[in-house]
């Protein structure tokens, strides 16, 4: 039964006449990557404000992976060196956030988070997407997740 369900699912995913070998691998759009980055940016803030440094560390690692994806899939976008910018963010802002998280230092975290946010907005300016302005979250859109540390 399970095999039949998998076979049926495969026929829904693959266009007529196509096989898994001929399918082009999925490449996320830059907008999709950036939407996930925005989500991680929010969760990173909420985790730190709750003192959940383990979750903050996790979200920062996910954020780093997103910047790495930008470099891999979009090294240049509309003549903007997005890969170089993402690599610089990993080297500086992500590293500063990592240091603050490991030290569980809320004051240093806030300073590093605000630098990351400013750098994101500077990149949006460079990319002629100045209408995208990132800021500290003012509310929790993730009511179904507890950000409190586990005891």
Encode pLDDT of 44-80 as tens digits.
Answer: 999 999 999 999 999 999 999 999 999 999 999 999 9
Question: What pLDDT sits at residue 20?
Answer: 60
Average pLDDT over residues 22-48: 95
Query: Where along the chain do its domains lie?
Result: 30-126
CB-CB contact of 96 with 112 (8 Å): yes
Q: Which fold, 30-126?
A: 1.20.120
Question: What pLDDT sits at residue 6?
Answer: 42
- What is the chain's alpha carbon radius of gyration, rounded to the nearest angstrom? 19
Question: What pLDDT sits at residue 3?
Answer: 45
CA distances from 136 to 8, 12, 39, 127 (A): 45, 41, 12, 21
pLDDT in tens, 81-125: 999 999 999 999 999 999 999 999 999 999 999 999 999 999 999
- What's the pLDDT band for 22 if we cut at 50, 70, 90? confident
């Amino acid at each position: 039964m399970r095999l039949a369900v998998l076979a049926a699912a495969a026929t829904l995913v693959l266009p007529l006449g196509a096989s898994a070998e001929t399918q082009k691998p999925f490449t996320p759009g830059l907008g999709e990557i950036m939407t996930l980055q925005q989500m991680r940016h929010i969760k990173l803030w909420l985790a730190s404000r709750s003192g959940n440094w383990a979750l903050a560390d996790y979200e920062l690692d996910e954020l780093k992976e997103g910047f790495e994806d930008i470099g891999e899939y979009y090294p240049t976008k509309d003549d903007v060196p997005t890969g170089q910018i993402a690599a610089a963010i990993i080297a500086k802002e992500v590293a500063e956030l990592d240091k603050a998280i490991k030290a569980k230092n809320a004051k240093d975290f806030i300073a590093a988070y605000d630098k990351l946010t400013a750098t994101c907005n500077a990149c949006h300016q460079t990319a002629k997407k100045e209408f995208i302005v990132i800021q500290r979250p003012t509310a929790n859109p993730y009511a179904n997740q507890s950000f409190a540390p586990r005891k």
